[in-house]
Each structure stands twice: as structure tokens, then as C-alpha cells.
Amino acid sequence: MAGTGPAIVLIHGITSSSQSFARVLPRLAEHHTVIAPDLLGHGASAKPRGDYSLGAYASGIRDLLVALGHERATVLGHSLGGGIAMQLAYQFPERLERLILVSSGGLGREVNLMLRAATLPGSEYVLPLLAAPPLRSAATAVTRVLGAVGIRPNMDLQGMAEGFTSLSAVDARRAFLHTARSIIEPSGQRVSAADRLYLAEGLPALIVWGARDPMIPVAHAHAAHAAMPGSRLEIFESAGHFPFNQEPDRFAAVIRSFVAETEPAVFDEDRLRRLLRRPPA
């Protein structure tokens, strides 16, 4: 946690941790109380055998908000975190003031081949080799060499390298596989919120994406924007899967403007009932 002001929750992606927001968190904390947890099975959090579904993650975020004394918050989800944020909005709509989706999963089938391959049978025997110290050391060495000659390493490469490093422990790999297989299959993403996005009517929503995202195509951003009434769309033309690391100042400014220019959602059960009873388009 950092800062003071209206609460904003940052939910990281698969294999990442709260540290993935290290560049943008101080900027957001200038105007917000920022809550950035390590999801169960990630970072410094416990990695038990258990439920790693989107629903379980959403319940965990709700429990965290209650435990910290925050009734409501603006919720920002990156990648897997976007899927969790949407699930949170679906399960506990009274808890959300605004929804921010950044390079979000759960909006279409397409996803990078690397993540699809991780769900194949037998991948649990390959992951230990990919996360082995020699490979991790080589990746670190390449990153250092590029920095020494003045070339900033690609933020996507950095983010993925950090992800591989996190899988060096057995319990972390087990948690990763449980999570990945609950949302992805070899042919693509298996969980989609596309048929429920209309329920976000009345919830201020912002979609942020990197135009060069190699993990989840930017086309998902445009489709989600069209399906979410009143949503805003911000495309970072030169960024990939981690726009908040590529352009942290611009990213923080976009988030601050969105919060300042929108009123927190007011949960209305009658409106939700009408939406749920509305015939499909």
C-alpha cells in the first residue's frame, strides 16, 4: 500500500507480482491510496494447493478490501488481472467504483503461443528446464549488456523474464499451471467475458492497451470498447503488453484523468435486474 486519497487496486498478471507496477505505483500514490497485492500463488504470497480460478481470485480481492477497511475502490487489472477485475465486477458489483482493463485477458480467444503451450499435457516437466538457473542467468546477462551500451531492454522481454524467474520454485510452478489451465487451453483463451460486458452499463470503464502487444492482440481492446457502453479507450501506439512500464508518466496521467472526470458507480440492483432480463441482442 502507498499514498492517500481515493482507493485504487492494482491487480497484476500471471507469473507477475505487485512489483510489475513498481514504475507507475509511486506516480499513482501521489493522488490515491494504492493497494497492490501479490495474488495467491504469486510473488511473496502463499502458494497452497487450492482454487486458482478467476472466481476465487475475485473473492480474494473482495476479502482484502474488506480486511483493509475499504468498502469500494477503482479496480485496475493487467492481463490475468483484467480477467479477475471483470470477475470482481460480476460477482461483487457493489464493490467497484470504476473498472480499468489493461492489456486484459478474458476478451477473446487469441493469446500468445507461449501461454497456450504452457497448458499442454506434460508442460509441468518442461517448465523446470525453462526456469533453470543457467537460462535465467543468461537472460539477466543479456539484459545487463544491453543496458551497458545504452539500449533499454524491451519491457515485454523484461516482464516475461521476471515471469520465468518466478517459476524456479516447485510451488510457484504448480500455482502457475493451475491458474493457466483454468483460463487457457492449447487452442486459446477458454474464458471470455464478452457475453457479459453489457452488464458494465453504468460502471465507468477505461480500456488501455499497447498497440504492439505480443501477448494479447489490441483488437480485443477495440471489441471490448464497442461492447461496453460509455467506456473509454486509450491506445499506447509504441507500447507492448506492459504500457504502464513503457510510458509510466503518460499511464499515470491517463488513470488520474479518468478518475477525476468520472463519478463513482452507484450500484443499482433494479438496473442490474433489468439488464439480466433483457433479451440478447
Give catalytic residues, as residue numbers. 79, 213, 241
238 CA to centre of own chain: 19
What are the grid coordinates assigned to 94, written together? 457493489
CA distances from 78 to 10, 14, 215 (A): 8, 9, 12
Q: Count Cβ neighbours within 10 Å for each residue of 5-30 and write b for 16 or more, e otherwise.
A: ebbbbbbbbbbbbbebbebbbebbbe
The sign of the torsion formed by the CA atoms of 14, 16, 20, 25 equals positive
> Do 101 and 83 meet the contact criterion of CB atoms below 8 Å apart?
no
What are the grid coordinates assigned to 121, written together? 499435457
Distance CA(222)–CA(234), nearest Å, equals 10
Strands (E), 92-226: 96-102, 184-185, 188-189, 205-210
**Residues 163, 165, 169, 172: what is their CA dihedral angle, to the nearest 10 degrees?**
-10
Distance CA(266)–CA(26), nearest Å, equals 28
